[in-house]
């Protein structure tokens, strides 16, 4: 099976980059299954049904998320009924939506688990390590592959999680920082891991936003409204191919000025 794991898509520019690059990536790499973090897809913060449908129309199989999933209140109207949209599984159980699911594609059962870190995230969450253990016991005999989107700020927490689930998850890809890390690797027990796959959005930006606004915030210390940047296109993802004989993976970065 071949997988594409796409990082945070940032607003209209991110969707433009996705439309521009993804068809060629699909043609070149022929993925069987595509996971995309879409929580920043609508205006840079949150997700709407229109944007969700746009992602699905491009061939995305599952959309994961993180701390911005509930920023657009519209998501409350469809997240409970849309199994292709995940919110972090370690949200309190009363939260709307689901945190993992098993999808059948090309005769294989693929479990996608969405988890969120607790370090520097500011949301009261259950332990993602223990939540993975709980989910794993439920799905290990049902799923042919297990993919985890770990949405977190601290690289140490993500790395620790990768080693914690090594040999149980097939792929662990980090999201949230919007900056790709160059540490993609095959862990000792067979899990493909990367701390962060990076974002899909504006090349000339501060994590997808217009550069003037975060600069002003750092200079003045005052609250600042962020707007999605528009200059340049950037697409980043992780490609993984797993067969009985070998595991192959590649970090992909495509840009256009």
Strand ranges, E, within the chain: 2-6, 33-37, 62-64, 100-105, 108-116, 145-151, 171-175, 185-186, 192-194, 201-202, 233-242, 247-256
For the record, the structure tokens of 190 come out as 């067979």
Asked whether the beta carbons of 23 and 45 are under 8 A apart, the reply is: no
List 52's β-bridge partners, or say none.
Answer: none
3-state secondary structure of 209: strand
Reply yes or no on whether 178 is catalytic. Answer: no
* Exposure string for 205-218, b = 16+ CB within 10 A, e = fewer: bbbbbbeeeeeeee
Compute CA distances 62 → 58, 71, 86, 164, 206, whole Å.
Answer: 11, 19, 8, 24, 27
DSSP-assigned beta bridge partners for residue 4: 34, 239
Query: Is residue 244 within 8 Å of residue 179, measured between CB atoms?
Result: no
Question: What pairing do the DSSP bridges indicate for beta strands 145-151 and 171-175?
Answer: parallel
Catalytic residue among 68, 151, 176, 178: 68
Number of H helices, E strands in the chain: 5, 12
Tell me the catalytic residues. 68
């Amino acid at each position: 099976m071949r997988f594409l794991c796409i990082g945070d898509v940032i607003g209209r520019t991110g969707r433009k980059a996705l439309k521009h690059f993804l068809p060629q990536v699909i043609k070149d790499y022929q993925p069987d299954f595509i996971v995309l973090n879409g929580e920043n897809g609508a205006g840079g913060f949150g997700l709407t049904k229109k944007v969700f449908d746009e992602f699905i129309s491009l061939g995305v199989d599952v959309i994961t998320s993180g701390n911005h999933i509930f920023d657009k209140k519209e998501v409350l109207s469809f997240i409970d009924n849309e199994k292709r949209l995940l919110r972090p599984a370690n949200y309190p159980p009363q939260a709307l939506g689901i945190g993992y699911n098993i999808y059948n594609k090309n005769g294989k059962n693929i479990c996608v688990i969405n988890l969120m870190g607790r370090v520097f995230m500011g949301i009261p969450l259950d332990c993602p390590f223990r939540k993975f253990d709980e989910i794993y016991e439920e799905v290990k005999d049902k799923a042919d592959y297990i993919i985890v989107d770990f949405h977190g700020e601290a690289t140490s927490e993500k790395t620790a999680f990768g080693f914690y689930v090594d040999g149980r998850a097939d792929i662990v890809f980090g999201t949230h920082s919007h900056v790709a890390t160059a540490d993609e690797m095959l862990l000792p027990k067979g899990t493909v891991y990367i701390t962060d796959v990076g974002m899909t959005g504006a090349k000339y930006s501060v994590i997808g936003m217009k550069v003037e606004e975060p600069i002003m915030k750092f200079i003045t210390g005052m609250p600042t409204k962020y707007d999605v940047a528009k200059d340049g296109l950037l697409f980043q993802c992780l490609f993984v191919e797993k067969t009985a004989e070998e595991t192959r993976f590649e970090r992909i970065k495509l840009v256009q000025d």
